């Protein structure tokens, strides 16, 4: 099994087989418009513009499961991202990434590369406490710790890395460049 076995919904509600991205290096991200990590859109878009011609794609999946930080409709989220951050990478329909209603893609990604913590430091400890309180309702189906968790997928559709939102975007870019 790999990511090409999954079908997701685009923001218009149409089925999209991830097989369409076969042979490309993918960064799959769960996002939110009202999160402290929303500024990650800037380095994500810069990376996309720089590397897409080399076979790199970013797949954006908005999610409202983290402190109600993406309450807007799919169209409103798309408008926010394109107007504020100039995003051009594909954005899909809003999904759940945790619990009984978690999208199967994210359950798979998190099973392949489980959560290992937000890292060290006071800021990361504060996020962990907040995330734990938010996510306890999902129990053993808590797959994603917070918004802007990123999964790097190789050209064969295998999950090769997971980056929590606390990981510096320069580190994410270095991993992408190395995998290209």
| 35 included as an active-site residue | yes
Q: How far, CA to CA in Å, does 70 sit from each of 21, 25, 111?
A: 26, 27, 24
* Two tokens, residue 73: 């409709």
Whether 111 contacts 80, CB under 8 Å: no
Report the greatest alpha carbon distance in the chain.
42
Q: How far, CA to CA in Å, does 35 sit from each of 2, 9, 69, 111?
A: 29, 23, 6, 24
CA distance 129 to 135: 10
| Burial environment of residue 103 by CB neighbours within 10 A (0 to 12, 13 to 18, 19 or more) | buried
CA distance 73 to 156: 33
Catalytic, out of 35, 44, 102, 127: 35
For 178, residues 6+ apart whose C-beta sits below 8 A from its C-beta are none
Active site residues: 35
């Amino acid at each position: 099994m790999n990511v090409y076995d999954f079908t997701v919904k685009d923001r218009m509600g149409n089925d999209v087989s991830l097989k369409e991205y076969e042979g490309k290096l993918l960064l799959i991200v769960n996002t939110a418009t009202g999160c402290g990590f929303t500024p990650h859109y800037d380095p994500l878009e810069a990376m996309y513009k720089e590397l897409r011609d080399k076979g790199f794609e970013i797949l954006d999946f908005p999610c409202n499961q983290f402190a109600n930080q993406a309450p807007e409709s799919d169209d409103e989220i798309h408008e926010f991202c394109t107007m504020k951050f100039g995003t051009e990478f594909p954005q899909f329909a809003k999904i759940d990434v945790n619990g009984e209603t978690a999208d199967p893609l994210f359950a798979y990604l998190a099973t392949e590369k489980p959560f290992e913590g937000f890292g060290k430091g006071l800021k990361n400890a504060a996020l962990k406490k907040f995330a734990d309180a938010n996510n306890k309702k999902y129990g053993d189906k808590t797959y994603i710790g917070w918004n802007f968790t990123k999964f790097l997928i190789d050209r064969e559709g295998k999950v090769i890395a997971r980056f929590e939102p606390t990981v510096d975007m320069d580190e994410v870019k270095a991993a992408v460049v190395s995998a290209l």
